[in-house]
Chain A
Amino acid sequence: RKEVEQDPGPFNVPEGATVAFNCTYSNSASQSFFWYRQDCRKEPKLLMSVYSSGNEDGRFTAQLNRASQYISLLIRDSKLSDSATYLCVVNPTPYSSASKIIFGSGTRLSIRP
């Protein structure tokens, strides 16, 4: 079983739609979770951290379900510029100075006009 699993997509949705991605992780001791965004042929960039209580940043909402070991990302009122690959990231040892973050394979999102 992969340490971090995501639906690869692609998700193809119209502009203005709401879209949600899920990601599951295998290490129940994991404490630190993130969503990164990666544009085509570019480096990953941090989109948002995911906290236990859930957190929101504008049109983006991230949630964590520790019992079921999954995190989610919700994008409301999607824009053409949201088209990208969204990478789920888990850090199983965030309190160690030698942190090794683990990436999922990514979910491709394409927003159509």
Chain B
Amino acid sequence: DAGVTQSPTHLIKTRGQQVTLRCSPKSGHDTVSWYQQALGQGPQFIFQYYEEEERQRGNFPDRFSGHQFPNYSSELNVNALLLGDSALYLCASSWAGGPGDTQYFGPGTRLTVL
């Protein structure tokens, strides 16, 4: 039973560029949440996708957008990258029919913006 997978594992971009991160949820899960974790901080909620729609959103600017596909996988897009966007980006999946707070995390994508 595959867990949550994310790609790529590491990424280096420069300011102003755009980036797309990908996530495949755990088998049987239909909801994907994205988090940003800066060094020394806890994960911060970006948004959550269910049925291909953004269901909830945290305090992140519109430069952060996402998408969910019919197979429940998801993408996180960040435009006009800033140095402060350097962080570990975590994807977590859950099942809408269960407790929404039982989330399983992927290994993350470490983004460095130069």
Give the interface of A toward B (CB within 8 A): 4, 8, 32, 34, 41-46, 87, 89, 91, 94, 96-106
Contact = CB atoms under 8 A, between A and B. Distances in A.
Contacts of B103: 101
Main secondary structure of the interface of A (DSSP, over half): loop
Interface string B79-103: 0000000001010001010011111
A97 B40 contact: no
20 contacts: A4-B42, A32-B99, A32-B101, A42-B107, A43-B90, A46-B102, A87-B42, A87-B43, A94-B99, A94-B100, A98-B48, A99-B99, A100-B33, A101-B103, A102-B45, A103-B42, A103-B43, A105-B40, A105-B42, A106-B42
Nearest to B38: A105
Given A43-B105, A44-B90, 13 more contacts: A8-B40, A43-B90, A87-B43, A89-B101, A91-B100, A94-B99, A98-B50, A98-B100, A99-B101, A101-B45, A103-B35, A105-B42, A106-B41
Nearest to B106: A43
Interface residues of B, number: 27
Contacts of B94: 99
A105 B99 contact: no
